[in-house]
């Protein structure tokens, strides 16, 4: 499904090039939850954005190859990348409230992104959220961080992308919601050859949900077996 072989990801600053990540290599197969652990500032978010070439090329340089179903994304057009992000690979970023337009009610996103309103209500109910007519009246700034995060997960998952990428999905969640999310993601990857890629600092969550765990340390990525203890030092 996805194969990344990235020699380096650099931050460009004036005439300097500072290497953020190097020698990143991993495969993501269908029906797998793959989790990347790492501390703040380790480059986790930049790495997942780099998988579909999202970082601004004025400030970031990505060297290597990234294959999606056999196609090297470095050879894809901008239009192809946009369609890929829209239909096949969907992101849920950590700062979910700021992912929404503050001038638009949540109903705008329901109308624009969702065709099956019954399924929408089922997912909202599953994640302990109000039903769509009530929730749709709210502006993003009226949501709690946890509500915004769960709505973003619903909107990303409801289009059934082949790859769902989650950035710190437990950062605004309590234990009950985390347990719901674990069951939801396990069901998601068992249906339709879908996969999930997570970046997080939450080791306990990673161990409960993942088929494979990797850790970013010293600017590179190391894989571990799920039953092997991984500590962030």
Structure tokens that stand for 217 in this block: 């340390």
Question: CA-CA distance, 92 to 44, in Å (whole number)?
Answer: 14
- SS3 for 223? strand
> Quick one: 126 exposed, middle or buried, by C-beta within 10 A (0-12, 13-18, 19+)?
middle
Q: In 3D, which of 27, 58, 68, 60 has the Cα closest to residue 43?
A: 60
Helix extents (H) in the chain: 44-50, 78-87, 106-113, 117-126, 132-135, 145-157, 175-190, 203-209
| Cα 2 → chain centroid | 14
Q: In 3D, which of 2, 3, 34 has the Cα closest to residue 189?
A: 34
- Adjacent-strand bridge partners of 92: 166
Predicted local distance difference test score (pLDDT) of residue 104: 95
The predicted-structure confidence for 116-155, as pLDDT tens digits, reads as follows 889 999 999 999 999 999 999 999 999 999 999 999 999 9
C-alpha to C-alpha distances, 28 to 130, 185, 214, nearest whole angstrom: 34, 15, 12
Instruction: Name the residue ranges covered by the structural domains of the chain.
Output: 89-159
Structure tokens that stand for 85 in this block: 């992000």
Predicted local distance difference test score (pLDDT) of residue 225: 61
Predicted local distance difference test score (pLDDT) of residue 233: 38
Q: In 3D, which of 25, 33, 41, 54 has the Cα closest to residue 169?
A: 33
- Beta-strand pair 163-167/212-217: unpaired
Q: Write out the chain's pLDDT in tens, 233 residues.
A: 899 999 999 999 877 889 999 999 999 999 999 999 988 888 999 999 999 999 998 899 999 999 999 999 999 999 999 999 988 999 999 888 888 999 999 999 999 888 888 999 999 999 999 999 999 999 999 999 999 999 999 999 998 999 999 999 998 888 999 999 999 999 999 988 899 999 999 999 999 999 999 999 989 999 876 654 444 43
């Amino acid at each position: 499904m996805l194969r990344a072989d990235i020699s380096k990801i650099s931050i460009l600053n004036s005439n300097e090039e500072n290497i953020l990540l190097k020698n990143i290599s991993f495969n993501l197969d269908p029906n797998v939850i793959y989790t990347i652990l790492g501390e703040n500032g380790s480059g986790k978010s930049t790495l997942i954005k780099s998988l579909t070439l999202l970082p601004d090329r004025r400030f970031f340089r990505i060297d290597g190859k990234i294959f999606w179903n056999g196609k090297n994304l470095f050879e894809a057009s901008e239009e192809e990348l946009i369609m890929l992000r829209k239909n096949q690979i969907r992101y849920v970023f950590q700062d979910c409230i700021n992912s929404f337009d503050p001038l638009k009610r949540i109903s705008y996103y329901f109308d624009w992104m969702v065709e099956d309103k019954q399924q929408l209500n089922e997912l909202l109910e599953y994640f302990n959220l109000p039903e769509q007519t009530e929730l749709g009246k709210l502006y993003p700034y009226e949501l709690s961080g946890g509500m915004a995060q769960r709505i973003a997960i619903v909107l990303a998952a409801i289009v059934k992308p082949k790859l769902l990428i989650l950035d710190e999905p437990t950062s605004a969640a309590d234990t009950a919601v985390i347990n719901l999310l674990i069951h939801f993601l396990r069901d998601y990857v068992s249906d339709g050859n879908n996969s999930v890629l997570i970046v997080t600092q939450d080791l306990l969550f990673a161990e409960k949900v993942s088929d494979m765990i990797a850790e970013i340390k010293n600017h590179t990525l190391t894989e571990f077996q799920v039953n092997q203890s991984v500590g962030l030092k």
